Structure 1
Amino acid sequence: MGERSQGEVVKLSLGVSRLYLVTRPEHLQQVLRDKSDNYVRGGDALQWRPLKRLFGDGILGDGEHWKNSRQVLQPLFTARRVDSLVDRLAEAIEDAVDDLDEPARTGQPVDMGTVQAQIVCSAIMRVFFADKISVPQAMRIMKAQDAIASSVMPRLMVPWAPLAMPMPGDRTFRKAVQLIDDTLLPIIRATRETAETDGDDIIATLWRGRTETGGRIEERQVRDDTVSMVATTTETTISVLTWLWPHIAQDEQIAERLYEEIDRVVGDAPVRREHLRELRYTRQVLDELLRLYPIGWLFPRSAVETDVIGGVRIEAGATLVVSPLITHRMSAFWDRPEVFDPDRFDPDQVRNRHRYAHFPFGGGPHQCIGMHLFYLEAMLIVATVLSRFRFSLQRQSVPGVKVAAALRPQERVEVILRPVRSVSA
């Protein structure tokens, strides 16, 4: 539908709902940045109502609770602070990648989705949660998040259905949320007692936070924001990188440019902060992955007051559908959008493109605070793995896209790893 509209605002007729599909970059800028106060998330907006049962009203919501959460958590994710943590992240990732030595030696296939989850959980739980959440606990939470992402789809397809009405997936959703709460609530409650003397991990920082009136943040909001931050610091990296391996395996030129850059910049040394600024093509590869596979693929917004977008009247109370997945794949804004081409993100091309043609992390005041972390974490993982191993796919195909609350690959990606020294021998 976005392709047929050529970027014009489209009114969708879905029962009693008034929905507008917004895809053109200048219109997206109006919704996400210029008039963000008029286009809010939360409430009964298309995607949010089912997911609010998991994430609550904090950092992924809107209004007063969101402002409190953003104020408390933003300092943990500034570019300067995250940059200061790069070497700690790199060491944690390197330790986790060590576990691949054995399957590489024996030629045992590995599931890259699982491998990436283990690497990401090892790094994030150590650096941002001070190991209060163990890697096995984090892996169970990842599994529950996967179940939730699929189980809410029936409600996303019928957004006007009341939550009291039973729907397919509800039981799976409740069971997964209960597992997350059973895992995190004891950790959250124990941290409250030591928060004043703890370091700057996410849970302790939330407990030390204050509302705009100076009061303490309540346990429910600490719980909601902890769940949200576990998801936002792990999910994108785990899922997006799963598509990396088949894409570079299918294009020898892209693979060779990536290998050459990593070998030249990193060599035999451990990957560290000083290497990242030189991994320019690696960054372009990640940007192209995010173009094709933006994990947060749907950003619904509710109009507070009547407005006009692209000559179309938007009534107060209407829901707008903003989708990176659609905009990123439209030929009106991208040449050969179906082709995986990291050269789209050559700096010269980026300068000539509208800022909101590529917005995998949203934009404006609600832009994901974990964006900078994703790029650092993903670059560290790719550079660490490919500085030590080459790989071959078990199945020569790119997984399709499974549309859930967050995008998922439809199939597993299994590879056989080979130590780099064997390749060059």
Structure 2
Amino acid sequence: MRDPARALVEFGERSGGEVVKLNLGSLRPYLITHPDHLQRVLREKSDNYVRGGDGLQWRPLKRLFGEGILGDGEHWTNSRHILQPLFTARRIDGLVDRLAVAIEEAIGELEEPARTGRPVDMGKVQAQIVCSATMRIFFADKITVPDAMRIMQAQDAIAWSVMPRILVPWAPLAAPMPGDRTFRRAVQLIDDLLLPTIRAARATADDDVDADDIISTLWRGRTEDGGRLDERQVRNDTVAMVATTTETTISVLTWLWPHIEQNPAIAARLYEELDQVVGDQPVRREHLRELRYTRQVLDELLRLYPVGWLFPRMAVEEDVIGGVRIPAGATLVGSPMITQRMSQFWDRPEVFDPDRFSPELVRSRPKYAHFPFGGGPHQCIGMHLFYLEATLIVATLLSRFRLRLCRNVVPGIKVAAALRPLDRVEVTLRRVQGVAA
């Protein structure tokens, strides 16, 4: 309990990549850490390993997200069928320049603290940047940035408040637990902010056939059998997509700034790449494919800090994994945070080293040694968006500013429903000379 992140990684180390059973009282899940075993569970036999049910993690979070894109079965199939076209690589690539302009305008708000030397909280800065861009591009400004920021705060409260129920998953939902009141207040706030917007969008969705924002698409979309989603599922998917399009970028980048300050050689390579590729121009689509080292830095951040750190599954039918019999109804747990920090699969796993994602090393590594967005049919549909959005933010910020930490410490990990930095990262900004505002 003092350091759950370290304890979980130690469980993985002790397992040696074998399938083991964890003794968590009345819940005894199988811990799956080997890339081959993870591939079987998440991809090859995904139909047999479902994420629904009342097991670890899903039951407490279902009170927020309900049935839909973050569920399983028919509801998930319908939501995925409707939303997937919005997040294809081709479509996201077509939005890059609009996304770049929105990010550039939001980062422009940092000119004042850079001029005055006022410290800024990078978690809040990133939330402002991501919300400004995402609400414009994916929600057509139906959700205002101030409302989106309030939703982000509510999501933070929820991520922490559900931990008692994740740690004690056998407790009945009717039994009061620490965090329940915070959870209910946060969910109510999200519904108060989103439901009027969702209902208003319903009236215009069919008339405006060119509207391709998430809420209009959900209302206008057809399920595989030709039906429509009801209001509850549109609400569930809207809440889920607000989280999916914002959470990873906001949280993961918070760890970037202390890591590059503590590693001057890595910072120098980032700056050099940005100078060569972007120079004093605004960051645009044509630059992104050339920012290869920047992508390696992001992959290394995701290795150490996968926001979605826990992937529980329930076995529908009996199976055998790594020579271990898995009975029907058993709970299995895979964790990117564990596998991605195991010395069996990574050299010096505690070291921040983007070179481990050079193309030749990536090709030689098992696919599921690095799976921060899950895998198989349930792989996060926002993965491609994260890489584009995060690259644009890093490239735009570092093309215009140099950041100096107020306290040169890499924050620890707060294990919640989604990983969070344990402490704030405050920086002062210095304008890069010769770069146009």
TM-score, normalised to structure 1, is 0.99
Matched, 1:179 2:195: no
Distance (Å, rounded) in 2 between the aligned partners of 1:16 and 1:317: 14
Select which of 353, 356, 371 maps to 2:365: 353
Question: What residue in structure 1 maps to residue 6 of structure 2?
Answer: none
Contact 2:81 2:224 in 1 (8 A): no
CA distance in 2, matches of 1:91, 1:345: 29
Alignment of 1:318-333 (within 5 A): 318-333=330-345
2:77 is the counterpart of 1:77: no
Aligned mate of 1:303, from 302, 312, 315: 315
2:333 partner amino acid: V
Once the 2 structures are TM-superposed, how far is the Cα of residue 263 of structure 1 from its aligned partner?
1.3
1:88: how far off? 0.3
SS of residue matched to 2:429: strand
2:416 matched to which residue of 1? 404
| 1:343-365 deviation digits (Å, cap 9, x = unpaired) | 00000000000000000000000
Partner of 2:4: none
Q: Distance in 2 between matches of 1:51 and 1:233?
A: 17
Number of the residue aligned with 1:38 = 48
Match of 2:33 among 23, 28, 37: 23
Q: 1:111 aligns with which of 99, 106, 121?
A: 121
Q: Which residue does the alignment assign to 1:11?
A: 21
1:146-173 deviation per Cα after TM superposition (whole angstroms, max 9, x unaligned): 0000000000000111101100000000
Q: CA RMSD in A?
A: 0.9
Counterpart CA distance in 2 for 1:197 and 1:88 is 24
- Structure 1 residue 214, shift from structure 2 partner: 1.5
Q: CA deviation at 1:422?
A: 7.7
Partner-residue secondary structure (3-state), 1:14: coil
Give, in angstroms, the shift of residue 115 of structure 1: 0.3
Q: How does 1:51-130 map to 2 (within 5 A)?
A: 51-130=61-140
Per-residue deviation at 1:215? 1.6
1:211 CA displacement: 2.4
* 1:294 maps to which of 295, 300, 306: 306
Looking at structure 2, the residues matched to 418 and 263 of structure 1 have their Cα atoms a distance apart, in angstroms, of 16
Is structure 2 residue 183 aligned with structure 1 residue 168? no
Instruction: Name 2:282's counterpart in structure 1.
Output: 270
The amino acid of 2:282's aligned partner reads P
CA contact (8 A) 2:113 2:120 kept: yes
Residue number among 277, 288, 292 corresponding to 1:280 in the alignment: 292
Of 43-52 and 170-179, deviating more is 43-52
Does 1:213 pair with 2:213? no
Q: What does the per-residue CA deviation read over 1:341-400, in whole Å, with 9 as the maximum and x for residues that have no partner?
A: 000000000000000000000000000000000000000000000000011100011000
How far off its partner does 1:81 sit? Answer: 0.1
1:175-228 Cα shifts (integer Å, max 9, x gaps): 000000000000000000000133100000000112232121100000000000
Identity %: 80
CA distance in 2, matches of 1:415, 1:122: 21
Unpaired runs of at least 5, structure 2: 1-10
TM-score normalised according to structure 2 size: 0.96
Whether 1:254 aligns to 2:278 is no
Matched, 1:131 2:141: yes
